[in-house]
Amino acid sequence: MRILYGVQATGNGHITRARAMATAFQNTDIKVDYLFSGRAPEELFNMDLFGDYEVRGGLSFATSQGRVNLFKTMQDLNARQLVKDIKQLDVSGYDLILNDFEPVSAWAAKLQKVRCIGLSHQAAFSFPIPKTGQDLGSKIVMKYFAPTSEKVGVHWHHFGHAILPPIINVDMQRCAPVKGKVIVYLPFESLADIAQLLKSYSQVDFYIYHPETKDADVDHLHYRALNRESFEANLQNCEGVIANGGFELPSESLFLGKKILVKPLVRQFEQESNVLTLEQLNLASTMQKLDADVVSSWLEKPAAEPVNYPNVAQMLAQWIAAGATRPMSEVADELWSQVQFPPYATVTC
C-alpha cells in the first residue's frame, strides 16, 4: 500500500502528531510520502523522520497579539498559487490520502476522486462536542478548508461518539519533576508580553519556547529556540505547562501528568473550544488573556496526575494497513477501554 500523508504545518501540533504516526508506519509495509503546507520550508525543524518530504504554500492564519488577524490573513493569501499547487499535485498513484487538515492534498484527492481520510483534531468537531465561538466563518473553514471523504477525529474524551484518544508519543518518560520548573509555549503572544507576565515569579524557572527567540537565560527566564528534542526533554521533567489552546501539547501534558494552564488564541474557534473542553473536564486551568492573578493561583495548585492514553498511532497504522475498513466505532471503543482518567476529572465514560 502506498499513501500520501498531508500535514498542516502552521502549528507544531500537527507535525508532532505526524511524527507519532510516522514511527508507527515504520512497523508496517506501508510506503508513506509526506507533504507539508502552511509554513516556509526553512522554518521547519527536526524533520528527518519524514524522509524526502514535500512542502507547498497551502493556507495559514496570520496572528497578532494573541489573536487571529483576519485582515493580514487575507493579505497573505496567495489563492492563485494554492489553486496551482492543487492542480499540479498528482495523487492518482496512491491507494489512500491521509490528511491532517492540509488543503492541497485534500482538494487534490477530492478533484481526482482518491479516497481521503481526514485524521485530525478538527475532524472531531464534526460531532456534537463542546464548542464555543463557532461563527459562520469558522463553519465554512471546517467544511471547505481541507475536505475529506472520511473523518477520524481525536480528542481528550469521546463524548459518546466514535472519536479517538489523542495521538501522542507514548514512549515519553514520566520523570520526577524538577521543583519550580515550568514550560511556556505561547507562540502567538509577543515575547515582551510573556516576559512581563512572568518576570515577578523569581522562584520559578520558566523555559520559554518561542519561534522568535534564540537560546538565552535571563535570570529565571530561560528562552529556548524551537527544537523538538530539547522541548520534549524539558517537558518530561517540568512541573507544569503554560500553553495556548492547541491540542497536541495539552495532550502530551495530560499523558505526562503535568498541571496545565491554557489561553486560547482569540477568534480561533478550535482553540477557544479546546479551552472550554479542558475546563469542563476539569483537566486544566484557563485564562482568556495573559493574567498574572491567574498565573499566581495556578502556580499554587497541587501537582496533576497522568491521563493514561494508549498507543493510538500504532492501532491506526495497523487499521490502515488492513485496508481501513473496520468500523471506527469499534476502534474507538477498544482504545477508550484502555484510558484511565485521574479521579478529579469530570468525565462520563
- pLDDT tens digits, one per residue of 130-174: 999 888 878 888 888 899 999 999 999 999 999 999 999 999 989
CB neighbour burial string for 218-237, b if at least 16 within 10 angstroms, e if fewer? eebbbbbebebeebbebbbb
Query: 254 and 284: one domain?
Result: yes
Strands laid side by side in the 216-218 sheet: 216-218, 221-224, 205-209, 181-185, 240-244, 259-263, 285-286
Distance (Å, rounded) from C-alpha 21 to C-alpha 312?
Answer: 9
What pLDDT, in 10s, does the model give residues 249-284? 999 999 999 999 999 998 888 999 999 999 999 999
Cα-only R_g, the chain: 20
Residue 91 covered by a domain: yes
Distance (Å, rounded) from C-alpha 96 to C-alpha 151?
Answer: 13
> Bridge partners of 33?
4
Q: Given this model, what pLDDT does residue 75 score?
A: 55
Amino acid at 332: A
Q: What is the mean pLDDT of residues 79-91?
A: 92
Query: 15 and 149: one domain?
Result: yes
Nearest partner of 271 among 292, 295, 288, judged by Cα: 288
Query: 119 and 186: one domain?
Result: no
Count how many domains the chain has. Answer: 2
Query: 29 and 112: one domain?
Result: yes
User: Which domain does 260 fall in, by range?
Assistant: 181-299
Query: 139 and 190: one domain?
Result: no
Query: 152 and 256: one domain?
Result: no
Q: Report the CATH number at residue 279.
A: 3.40.50.2000
Residue 275 covered by a domain: yes
Nearest partner of 207 among 82, 215, 103, 157, judged by Cα: 215
Q: Given this model, what pLDDT does residue 70 score?
A: 55
Residue 342 covered by a domain: no
Query: 104 and 60: one domain?
Result: yes
Please enumerate in sequence order all residues whose Cβ is within 8 A of that of 139, keeping only pairs 6 or more positions apart, or say none. none
Q: Is the pLDDT assigned to residue 349 strictly greater than 60?
A: no
Q: Is the pLDDT assigned to residue 76 strictly greater than 90?
A: no
Q: Given this model, what pLDDT does residue 348 score?
A: 72
Query: 185 and 146: one domain?
Result: no
- Do the strands 205-209 and 216-218 form a parallel or antiparallel pair, or are they unpaired? unpaired
Residue 345 covered by a domain: no
Residue 347 covered by a domain: no
Nearest partner of 317 among 103, 152, 105, 113, judged by Cα: 152
Query: 240 and 263: one domain?
Result: yes
Lowest-confidence range among 281-285, 297-301, 345-349? 345-349
CB neighbour burial string for 306-339, b if at least 16 within 10 angstroms, e if fewer? ebebbbbbbbbbebbbeebeeebeebbeebbeeb
Q: In percent, how much of the chain has pLDDT > 70? A: 94
Query: 63 and 105: one domain?
Result: yes
Residue 305 covered by a domain: no
Q: Given this model, what pLDDT does residue 274 score?
A: 97
Amino acid at 64: S
Residue 200 covered by a domain: yes
Residue 344 covered by a domain: no
Query: 164 and 35: one domain?
Result: yes
Query: 51 and 19: one domain?
Result: yes
